[in-house]
């Protein structure tokens, strides 16, 4: 069966593929479709490969599609993808999925490259009454922090587990959440990250009396 055809994959040209932190890349390619922030695309390097899903990290008005990814040393896609140069061809699907943001009060919780759907929402204008909690192992793990920090101020919480710096919480984001006394139950809580992060964070939120109906999760797989 033609896996790619079934996913509606098309050829796209790489515009840029920059390493923005050790082992973390921002791929940029030409755009010929509209999307809703929070949606994903499937990416493959060759027509015979099984594609992988990635959240779009662009705003709705941005000229290009951006994909934030970290290189998994044993992965089939990301090691060769990290070698892609401007002008190279990749295969990508149109947008799909429905991890949609809301204009209402929301808390965005991301670990690592799980920030991608939230930068998409942010750049698309979902900015009012937002709190962003971003967890990373290193100080360089807070991708796009310059876009968030001025406007979000204290509502931008960076949790760094391996390094210390002023203004940055030292520890995992789950530890930060556990220390919070009064998480408002009537906001929407959006989670994006690894399975471990999502299930641990969801458990903490539920323990802190956030109704599960107000928790929405996006998972990597």
Partner 1 sequence: MSRDLLFGKTLTELRSIVNDLGLPGFTAAQIADWLYKKDISSIDEMSNLSKNARIILNAHFDFGLTPSSKVQESIDGTKKYLFPAGKHKFIEAAYIPDETRKTLCVSSQVGCKMGCLFCMTGKQGFQANLSAGEIVNQVRSLPEKDDLTNVVYMGMGEPFDNLDEVLKSLEIFTSDWGYGWSPKRITVSTIGIIPAMKRFLDESQCHLAVSLHSPFEEERKKLMPVENVYSLPEVIQTIKNFDFGRQRRISFEYIMFKGINDSPRHVKELAKILNGIRCRINLIRFHPIPNTPLKSSDEKTMEEFMVALNAKGIRTTIRASRGEDIYAACGLLSTKELVKRNGGDF
> Which stretches of the chain bind partner 1, using CB under 8 A?
1, 3, 6-7, 38, 40, 42, 50-51, 53, 96-99, 194-196, 198-199, 202-203, 206-207, 211-213, 215-221
Nearer to partner 1, 138 or 212 (CB): 212
- Min CB(148)–partner 1 separation in Å: 22
Give the whole-angstrom CA distance, residue 101 versus residue 76.
31
**Cα Rg, the chain, nearest whole Å:** 17
- Min CB(203)–partner 1 separation in Å: 5
* Contact predicate 106/91, CB 8 Å: no
First to last CA, the chain: 22
- Min CB(3)–partner 1 separation in Å: 6
- Min CB(219)–partner 1 separation in Å: 5
Nearer to partner 1, 24 or 192 (CB): 192
Nearer to partner 1, 151 or 196 (CB): 196
Give the whole-angstrom CA distance, residue 187 versus residue 97.
22
- Min CB(140)–partner 1 separation in Å: 22
Nearer to partner 1, 98 or 146 (CB): 98
Give the whole-angstrom CA distance, residue 197 versus residue 7.
28
Nearer to partner 1, 52 or 158 (CB): 52
Between 116-123 and 145-152, two packed helices, what is the crossing angle to 10 degrees?
Answer: 60
* Contact predicate 152/130, CB 8 Å: yes
């Amino acid at each position: 069966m033609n896996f790619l055809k079934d996913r509606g994959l098309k050829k796209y040209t790489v515009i840029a593929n920059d390493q923005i932190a050790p082992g973390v890349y921002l791929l940029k390619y030409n755009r010929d479709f509209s999307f809703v922030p929070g949606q994903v695309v499937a990416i493959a390097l060759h027509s015979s490969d099984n594609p992988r899903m990635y959240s779009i990290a662009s705003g709705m008005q941005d000229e290009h599609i951006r994909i934030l990814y970290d290189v998994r040393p044993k992965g089939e896609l990301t090691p060769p993808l990290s070698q892609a140069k401007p002008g190279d061809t990749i295969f990508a699907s149109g947008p799909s999925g429905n991890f949609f943001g809301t204009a209402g009060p929301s808390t965005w919780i991301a670990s690592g490259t799980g920030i991608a759907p939230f930068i998409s929402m942010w750049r698309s204008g979902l900015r009012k009454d937002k709190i962003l909690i971003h967890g990373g192992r290193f100080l360089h793990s807070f991708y796009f922090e310059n876009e968030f920090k001025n406007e979000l101020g204290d509502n931008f919480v960076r949790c760094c587990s391996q390094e210390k710096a002023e203004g940055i919480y030292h520890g995992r984001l789950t530890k930060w959440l556990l220390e919070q006394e009064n998480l408002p139950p009537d906001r929407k809580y959006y989670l994006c990250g690894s399975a471990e992060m999502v299930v641990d964070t969801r458990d903490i939120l539920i323990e802190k009396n956030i109704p599960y109906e107000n928790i929405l999760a996006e998972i990597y797989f």
